[in-house]
Structure 1
Amino acid sequence: MDGADLLRMLRAASRGPVIVATARDGKADMVRLLDAGTDRYVVKPYSAAWLAALVQPS
Structure 2
Amino acid sequence: EVDVARKRIALSMKLGEAPARRDAPRDNRFEGVARGQQAPRRSEAPSQSAMASAFAKIQGNR
TM-score, scaled to structure 1: 0.19
Q: Which has the higher contact order (CA 8 A, sep 6+)?
A: 1
Q: Which has the higher strand share?
A: 1
**Which of the pair has more CA radius of gyration?**
2
